[in-house]
Amino acid sequence: MFFIFDVETVPDFDFVRRVLNDHESDQELLLEKASEELARNKSGFLPPMYHRMVSWVGLWIENTGGPKQKLAWSGEDEKEGLKQIFDAIGTYKDFGLIHHNGKGFDIPVLTYRAMKHGLQMPVRMHDYDIRYRYSRHNIDLVDEFSNYGASSWPKLKHLGQLIGIPFKQTGEGNEVLAMFERGELDLIEHYCYEDVMATYIVWLYHQYTAGSIPEDQFNNLKDRAMSKLEDIQAGPPK
């Protein structure tokens, strides 16, 4: 079994204030300062340590590639959300993970936030065959397509455009904070679900290209996944 997942986050402003020793600036100015002083990239996007989770979506798929179960959470009680995703991931004793930049962002976020809230992660997430950089049980599409950093890292949106699939219809990652501040948690979860389904479809293409899935099986799974993605993109929850 494999767990395809994605988490959505917003800056942990309380933590950022403590790190920068700034308890006076408004949120917008604080974020500007944090982008300048804490970010390690040109975009100013904060590293995983400075984020808090507000939503996650996971999709269990069988070893044959077929989807089995969707699980999700969104809310302001981050500790409860972490408990739920750890329970979800721990459903099966032997599992693998599939994600897009999960090694660089999502898994570090889960690790930092588990530490903050005093929670234990599923033991298997720290097993060698999950932690090993070239593990076939912890598949990061960023690594797969960049040949583990030998080439540039592809964006999920661009991978979708490459194979003719329109992704990111609900919103963009930089819109999550605004949605959160408007109380649009259902919309954030919907956006997260779209990312998970997009990741699943790109993974199917990768598996087929690598010769791991026969053509008839690939076409069947792809068509079903595309139909589901179209349903998601038809409109967010009212």
pLDDT tens string for the chain (238 positions)?
899 999 999 999 999 999 999 998 999 899 999 988 888 777 778 999 999 999 999 999 998 889 999 999 999 999 999 999 999 998 887 889 999 999 999 999 999 999 999 999 998 888 877 877 788 889 999 999 998 878 888 899 899 989 988 765 555 667 899 999 999 999 999 999 999 999 999 999 999 999 999 999 999 999 999 999 888 888 765 5
Q: 198 and 59 in contact (C-beta within 8 Å)?
A: no
Look up the pTM and report it: 0.92
Q: 153 and 117 in contact (C-beta within 8 Å)?
A: no
Q: Which of 109, 105, 110, 111 is nearest to 43 (CA)?
A: 105
Q: Which residues of 122-147 are buried (b: 16+ CB within 10 A; e: fewer)?
A: bebbeeeebeeeebebbbbbbbbbee
Structural domains in the chain, sorted by start? 2-233 (3.30.420.10)
Which pLDDT belongs to residue 237? Answer: 59
Which pLDDT belongs to residue 149? Answer: 79
